[in-house]
Amino acid sequence: MNDGTTTRLTWLSSAAAAGMLLWISRTLLGLLVSYPIVLAIRASAMSNGPDGDAVLFQPGSLLLLELLRIGAPWLASALRVALLLALLCAISELVPLALALDLLRLPGRPLLERTRRALRVFPGFLALGAIALLVQAALLLAPSLLSAALKPALSSADERLRSLAPIVLIGLGLFACAGFGALLDIARATLLQREQRELPDRAGRGARAALAHALLCFRRQPFRVLASVYPSIAGGLLGFLCAAWLLLRQDPMMPTARALALAFGAHQLAVLFAIGWRVRWLAAALELSAEND
């Protein structure tokens, strides 16, 4: 086995470990986020029958709508709690993300060392996340405002143009959000790499400097940044659509246990597929950051 193959295998095993780490953390946090919703469904008594909650998924949705009618107050409260939990969990998930980046950057280090580093970069990751949230909110708000401003001008236009214009504008907003997300990942990678190198300059290890560096990477290699993140975004969407398409074809009369196994398998494969492509992009983000640093 030559050195190239060994390096490749080491990288692959690190990538697999990073992927598994992200999947496990997302699954555990997902269980936490979804728990209030499950409790609300159980509280509605709609799953207390001999067929459990399979009745909610019957063709025609007679009992699913009954759940929405009877359980609306609980479900609304549960949804609010779940969204709050999702926000907290998204923040917590920054630690496994830092660990995953660390695994991709420096394979073979002790877990304790990685964990310490991940916790050290956490405030920076959090600051970057807050900036991203604000920027992405603005990027989504802008098309809505633009659509509203264009409404009078489009009032006499073809109705297809009238209904498609806001969709296209929101699509552009989402595209810009995805682009900014890519910058954010490069900034995170920069932050982690600078932490690993233990730069003496504290300002150089800060979130602002990392974001400035990410912008520099984008200015220098815009096409490479966008091309590298493209499979990750498209892969995530593809996994989601494939799972939906597959489950659409399942027999609605299938026994509950089989239906459950099939749905769980398809959904988790979709999540793993998306995470796999994301890990590949994170490795590219580390490369981009290192090359330009």
Partner 1 sequence: MRRVTQDVLIGAVFSLLCALLSRALFFSTGAPPAPAAQPKAAEPAWPELAQSATKVASYEIEAKLDTEHHRIAGRETIHFVNRSSAALNELWFHLYLNAFKNDKTLFLRSPFGAGRSGDKAHEYGYVDVKKLTIVAGDGRDLWAERDRHSPDDPEDETDLRVPLPSPLEPGRTLDLELEFEDQLPELVERTGFVDNFHFMGQWFPKLARLLPSGAFAHFAFHAQSEFYADFGDYDVSLDVPRGFRVGATGSRVRESETPDRTRLSYHAENVHDFAWTAWDRFEARSERIAGTQVSVLYPPHQRQNAEAELASVRYALPHFNALYGAYPYPTLTLVHPPEAAANAGGMEYPTLITTGGPWYSTFGGTHVIDVVTTHELGHQWFYGLLASNEHSEPFLDEGFNSYAEAEALESRFGAGSVFGAFGLSVSSTALNRLFSAARGEDEKVNQGAAEFATFRSMGALVYSRTAIVLGTLARVYGSQRVNHALGVYTRKFRFQHPTTADFLGVMQSELDSQAVIALKQALTERGTVDYLVREISNAPISAAAGVFDGPSGREQKKPEAPRPAAEFASRVVVYRHGSLQFPVQIALGFEDGTKQLRHWDGSGFTFNVDNVGPSRLVSVNVDPEQRILLDDDRSNNWLSTGDSSAPLSRERALYAAQLLLGALGP
Binding to partner 1 (CB under 8 A) within 39-68 occurs at 41-42, 44-54, 56-68
* Under rule CB under 8 A, residue 111 binds partner 1: no
Measured from the CB of residue 201, what is the shortest distance to partner 1 in angstroms? 26
- Spatial CB neighbours of 249, under 8 Å, sequence gap ≥ 6: none
Complex with partner 1: residue 91 or 216, whichever CB lies closer: 91
| Least CB distance to partner 1 at residue 34 (A) | 4
Three-state secondary structure of 106-172 = CCCCCHHHHHHHHHHHHHHHHHHHHHHHHHHHHHHHHHHHHHHHHHHHHCCCCHHHHHHHHHHHHHH
Site for partner 1 in 199-228 (CB under 8 A): 223-224, 227-228
Amino acid at 22: L
Least separation in angstroms between CB 136 and partner 1? 10
Residues 127 to 166: which contact partner 1 by CB under 8 A?
158-160, 162-163
The Cα 281–Cα 287 span in angstroms is 10
Site for partner 1 in 257-286 (CB under 8 A): 259-260, 263-264, 267-268, 271, 274, 284
* Amino acid present at 130: A
Which span sits near partner 1 by CB under 8 A: 9-17, 91-99, 198-206, 211-219?
A: 91-99
Q: Could you tell me the CA-to-CA distances from 267 to 236, 255, 260, 289 in Å, in that order?
A: 12, 18, 10, 33
Residues 214 and 289 sit within 8 Å (Cβ to Cβ):
yes
Number of residues that bind partner 1 (CB under 8 A): 84
Least distance in angstroms from the C-beta of 106 to partner 1: 19
Minimal distance, residue 200 CB to partner 1, in Å:
28
Nearer of residues 66 and 293 to partner 1, judged by Cβ: 66
Smallest distance from partner 1 to CB 269, Å: 11
Window 164-193: residues binding partner 1 (CB under 8 A)? 188
Among 15, 18, 97, 283, binds partner 1 (CB under 8 A): 97
The CA-CA-CA angle for residues 189, 139, 278, to 5°, reads: 35
Smaller CB separation from partner 1, 199 or 238: 238
Distance CA 94, CA 36 (A): 23
Please state the closest distance from residue 69 (CB atom) to partner 1, in A.
Answer: 6
Residues 231-260 that bind partner 1 (CB under 8 A): 231, 233-238, 240-242, 244-245, 247-248, 256, 259-260
DSSP-derived secondary structure for 223-290: HHHHHHHHHHHHHHHHHHHHHHHHHHTS-TTS-HHHHHHHHHHHHHHHHHHHHHHHHHHHHHHHHHHH
